[in-house]
Amino acid sequence: MTKLRLGVNIDHVATVRNARGGDNPDPVRAAILAAQAGADGITAHLREDRRHISDDDIDRLTRALTIPLNLEMAATDEMAAIARRAKPHAACIVPEKREERTTEGGIDAAGQHNRLAPIVGALVKANIRVSMFIEADRRQLDASKALGAPVVELHTGAYAHNPQGAELDRLRDAAAYGHRIGLEVHAGHGLTFDNVKPVAAIPEIRELNIGHFLVGEAVFIGLEASIRRMRALMDEART
Ligand code: PXP
């Protein structure tokens, strides 16, 4: 089976920093440590309201990282311009509502084709690998493909609330279908030590992006140990 990559999302290191203002804890330091602990990439969401990651964090990440940066972004002209300047390895297009606490659902690639097409096109043209953060639904997979995005990330939030039920079957079906139509399939949101293995075992999934749980667990066992344990669980699920 192909190796499963781990993208570590460092947003919530910035959340803790911003609770007090100032510089600590520094998400760039967390990203460097994550790479040492076995992360294959770093994911950071520059939200429109800058509630956690800042523009300066993105600048510093692009300079400091030796592993790929995956920039999560809303499909806006402002974010597309930032992405074209920062040139991350990848950009994951997410829906964004100011009042939400986290990215609550996938983007409606099917219903918003005309709004999304110019943004996706501009990013692809800038050689940024675009992924669409979508629900595990064949219609959304077809729509992502029609937009010209090479990658999709399946939203695992519903599964995380109800592991092992029908939601796992939906993820399995979507991953197999996405792979069949030529998309690279990633997954993420709400994954923990307890629920990661069934998702990591889905053979068509190439990358998981995990953040909140890893940063929370770092309070108890340290960031490096929490990433190493997640990496080990993913590898166990894959063999
Ligand atoms: N993938 C995407 C596209 C996300 O928006 C998020 C949350 O920012 C994650 C993965 C990581 O989710 P979590 O922080 O719950 O692990």
Is 45 part of the annotated catalytic residue set? yes
In a domain, 222, yes or no: yes
Write out the chain's pLDDT in tens, 239 residues: 789 999 999 999 999 999 999 999 999 999 999 999 999 999 999 999 999 999 999 999 999 999 999 999 999 999 999 999 999 999 999 998 766 777 778 999 999 999 999 999 999 999 999 999 999 999 999 999 999 999 999 999 999 999 978 999 999 999 999 999 999 999 999 999 999 999 999 999 999 999 999 999 999 999 999 999 999 999 999 98
Q: Is the CB of 131 under 6 A from ligand 1?
A: no
Q: Quick check: pTM over 0.85?
A: yes
Within a domain: residue 56? yes
Which residues, 6 or more positions from 29, have their beta carbon under 8 angstroms from its beta carbon? none
Q: Is residue 20 part of a domain?
A: yes
Q: Is residue 43 part of a domain?
A: yes
Q: Is 144 touching ligand 1 by the criterion CB < 6 Å?
A: no
Q: Is residue 145 part of a domain?
A: yes
138 SS3 class: helix
Distance 134 CA to ligand 1 centre (A): 12
Residue 136 lies in a domain: yes
The question of whether 189 is a catalytic residue gets the answer: yes
Task: Report the percentage of the chain scoring pLDDT > 70.
Answer: 99
CATH of the domain at 220: 3.20.20.70
Calculate how far, in angstroms, residue 157's C-alpha sits from the geometric centre of ligand 1: 9
Within a domain: 236: no
Q: Show the domain range for 221.
A: 5-230
Residues 6+ apart with CB under 8 A from 115: 75
**Residue 239 falls inside a structural domain:** no
Give pLDDT tens digits for 36-90.
999 999 999 999 999 999 999 999 999 999 999 999 999 999 999 999 999 999 9
Ligand 1 site, residue 188, Cβ cutoff 6 A: yes
* Number of domains forming the structure of the chain: 1
Query: Ligand 1 centre from 220 Cα, in Å?
Result: 21
Q: Which of 12, 52, 155, 189 is catalytic?
A: 189
**Measured between alpha carbons, how far is residue 46 from residues 3, 49, 225 in Å?**
28, 8, 26
Alpha-carbon gap, residue 32 to 35, rounded angstroms: 5
